[in-house]
A and B are shown apart, each in its own frame.
Chain A
Amino acid sequence: MNRSQAPQSGREGFMTIGTSVPRVDSYDKAAGRTKYVDDLCSSRALVAKILHSNVAHAYVKSIDTSEAEKIPGVVGVFTCFDVPEWPFPTAGHPWSTQKDHQDVCDRHLLTRHVRYYGDDVAAVVAVDEVTAIHAVQAIKVEYEVLPFVLDPQEAMKDGAVLLHKKYPHNILAHTRNCHGNYEEAIREPGLVKVEGWYDTPTVQHCHIENAECFAYMENGIITVVASTQIPHIVRRCVAMALGVDWGKVRLIKPYIGGGFGDKQDALYEPLCAWLTTQVGGRPVKLECTREETFANCRVRHAIRYHLISWVKPDGTLVARKAECYSNQGAYASHGHGVNAKGMNSIPQLYPCPNIECDSWTVFTNMQVAGAMRGYGMPQVTFALESHVQDICEKLHLDPMEYHRRALMPVGFTDSFSKNELYSDTFNEVLTVGERAIGFNRKYKLYRNQTGRYRRGVGFAAFWYNTAVWPISLETSSCRMILNQDGSVQLQVGETEIGQGADTAFAQMAADTIGVPLDKVHVVSCQDTAVTPYGTGAYASRQTYAAGMAIRGCAEKFRQKILENAFPYTRMQPYLMDIADGNIIRNTDGRKLMSLGEFATMKLYDRENNEHITCEKSTQLKTNAYSFGCGFAEVEVDTQLCRVKVLKLVNVHDAGRIINPALARAQVQGGMSMGIGYALSEKMLYDPKTGRLLNGNLLDYKLSTPMDHPSLEVHFVENPEPTSAYGTKALGEPPVIPVSPAIRNAILNATGVACMEIPMRPHYLYEKFREAGLIGEE
Chain B
Amino acid sequence: MYDIGKIYEAHTVEEAVNLRLEHPEAVIIAGGSDVLIKVRSGKLAGADLISIQGVDELRGVHMEKDGTLVIGSLTSFSHITADPLIGSCIRVLGEAADKVGGPQIRAVGTVGGNTCNGVTSADTASTLLAYDAIVELAGGTEDEGRTGGNAENAGGQMARNPGAGGADSQRRIARRLVPLEKFYLGPGRTDVRPGEIQTCLRIPVESYENHYGFYIKFGMRNAMEIATVGCSVNVKLSEDKKYLDDLRIAFGVAGPVPMRAHETEKKFKGAALTAQTVTEIGSSVLSEVHPRDSWRAPKNMRRHLCRTMTQDALCEAVRRAGGMIAGMKADQDGARDFMDITLFPDAGAADGQE
Q: Which of B74-124 contact A (CB under 8 A)?
A: 102
Q: Verify B350–A633 contact, CB threshold 8 A.
A: yes
Q: How far is the CA of A69 from the CA of B303 in the complex (A)?
A: 52
Within 8 A of A (CB), among B289-337: 295-298, 301, 303-305, 307-309, 312, 329, 331-332, 336-337
Q: How far is the CB of B186 from chain A (nearest CB, A)?
A: 22
Stretch at the interface among B166-174, B251-259, B261-269, B338-346: B338-346
Residues of A within 8 A of B354 (CB): 5, 436
Complex Cα gap A455–B343 (Å): 8
Partner of B301, one of A128, A453, A765: A765
Q: Which of A129, A441, A701 contacts B1 (CB 8 A)?
A: A129
Partner of B347, one of A5, A435, A442, A452: A442
Q: CB < 8 Å: which of B221, B303, B341 contacts A704?
A: B221
Q: Does A722 contact B (CB under 8 A)?
A: no
B221 CB, nearest partner CB in chain A, Å: 5
Cβ of A699 to closest chain B Cβ, rounded Å: 7
Is B280 interfacial (CB-CB < 8 Å)?
no
User: B286 an interface residue at 8 Å Cβ cutoff?
Assistant: yes
**Given A130-B1, A130-B3, A452-B332: A704 and B220 interface contact (C-beta under 8 Å):** no
Chain A residue with minimal CB distance to B286?
Answer: A777
Does B8 sit within 8 A of A, measured CB to CB? no
CA distance A697 to B221 in the complex (A): 12
Contact B353 A451 (CB under 8 A): no
User: Contact: A451 with B226, CB < 8 Å?
Assistant: no
Q: Which residue of the partner chain, among A684, A686, A709, contacts B350 with CB atoms under 8 Å?
A: A709
Cβ–Cβ contact A693 & B347, under 8 A: no
* Residue in chain B with minimal CB distance to A698: B226
B240: interface (CB < 8 Å)? no
Interface string of B184-227 (1 = CB under 8 A from A): 00000000000000000000000000000000001011111010
**A600: which B residues are within 8 A, CB to CB?**
none
Contact A453 B336 (CB under 8 A): yes
With a cutoff of 8 Å between Cβ atoms, the chain B residues found around residue A706 in the complex are 221-223
Residues of A within 8 A of B336 (CB): 452-453, 637
Instruction: Let me know if B351 is at the binding interface, CB within 8 A.
Output: yes
In-complex Cβ contact of A437 among B296, B304, B352 (8 A): B352
How many Å from the CB of A629 to the closest CB on chain B? 15
User: Which A residues are CB-close (under 8 A) to B309?
Assistant: 640
Q: In angstroms, how far is the closest chain A Cβ from the Cβ of B99?
A: 10
| Residues of B with C-beta under 8 A to A240 | none
Which A residues are in CB contact (< 8 Å) with B337? 644
Are B350 and A707 in touch, CB under 8 angstroms? no
Q: B residues within 8 A CB of A707? A: 221-223
Choice from A133, A451, A704 contacting B223 with Cβ under 8 Å? A704
Contact check, B296 vs A705: say whether CB atoms are below 8 A apart. Answer: no
Q: Is A596 an interface residue (CB 8 A)?
A: no
Least CB distance from A341 to B in Å reads 30
- Closest beta carbon of chain B to A695's beta carbon, Å: 12
Q: Tell me if B303 and A445 are in contact (CB < 8 A).
A: no
Q: How far is the CB of A432 from chain B (nearest CB, A)?
A: 10
Are A765 and B304 closer than 8 Å at their CB atoms? Answer: yes
Q: Known: A437-B352, A442-B347. Is A704-B222 also a contact (CB below 8 A)?
A: yes
> How far does the alpha carbon of A705 sit from the alpha carbon of B224 in the complex, in Å?
10
Measured CB to CB, the closest approach of chain B to A537, in angstroms, equals 28
Q: Does A438 contact B (CB under 8 A)?
A: yes
- Closest-CB distance, B285 to chain A (whole angstroms): 11
Q: Please tell me if A646 contacts chain B, counting CB pairs below 8 Å.
A: yes
Residues of B within 8 A of A684 (CB): 295
Interface residues of A in 416-452 (CB under 8 A from B): 435-438, 441-442, 445-446, 451-452
Kindly supply a per-residue 1/0 record for chain A positions 667-705, scoring 1 wherever the CB is within 8 Å of any chain B CB and 0 otherwise.
000000000000010001010000001100111011111
Q: From residue A294, how far is it (CB to closest CB) to chain B in Å?
A: 14
- Asked whether, in the complex, the Cβ of A451 is within 8 Å of the Cβ of B331, the reply is yes
Residues A438 and B226 in contact in the complex (CB < 8 Å), given A762-B297, A765-B304:
no
Residues B1 and A647 in contact, CB atoms below 8 Å apart: no
Query: How far apart sit A633 and B308, CA to CA, in the bound complex (Å)?
Result: 25
Q: Does A407 contact B (CB under 8 A)?
A: no
Give A635-679 as 1s and 0s: 1 = Cβ < 8 Å from B's Cβ atoms. Answer: 101011100101100000000000000000000000000000000
**Cβ–Cβ contact B343 & A453, under 8 A:** yes
CB distance from A690 to the nearest CB of B (A): 14
Inter-chain contact A451/B301, CB cutoff 8 Å = no
| Beyond A647-B350, A701-B220, A707-B221, 10 additional pairs, beta carbon < 8 A | A436-B352, A445-B346, A453-B331, A635-B343, A646-B350, A706-B222, A709-B350, A710-B350, A761-B301, A762-B297
| A interface, CB within 8 angstroms of B | 5, 128-130, 133, 435-438, 441-442, 445-446, 451-455, 633, 635, 637, 639-641, 644, 646-647, 680, 684, 686, 693-694, 697-699, 701-707, 709-710, 760-762, 765, 774, 777
**9 shortest interchain CB distances as A-B pairs:** A706-B222, A706-B223, A438-B352, A129-B1, A704-B223, A451-B331, A701-B220, A646-B350, A647-B350
Chain A to chain B contacts (Cβ below 8 Å), 10 pairs: A5-B354, A436-B352, A438-B347, A701-B220, A703-B221, A704-B102, A710-B351, A760-B220, A761-B228, A777-B303
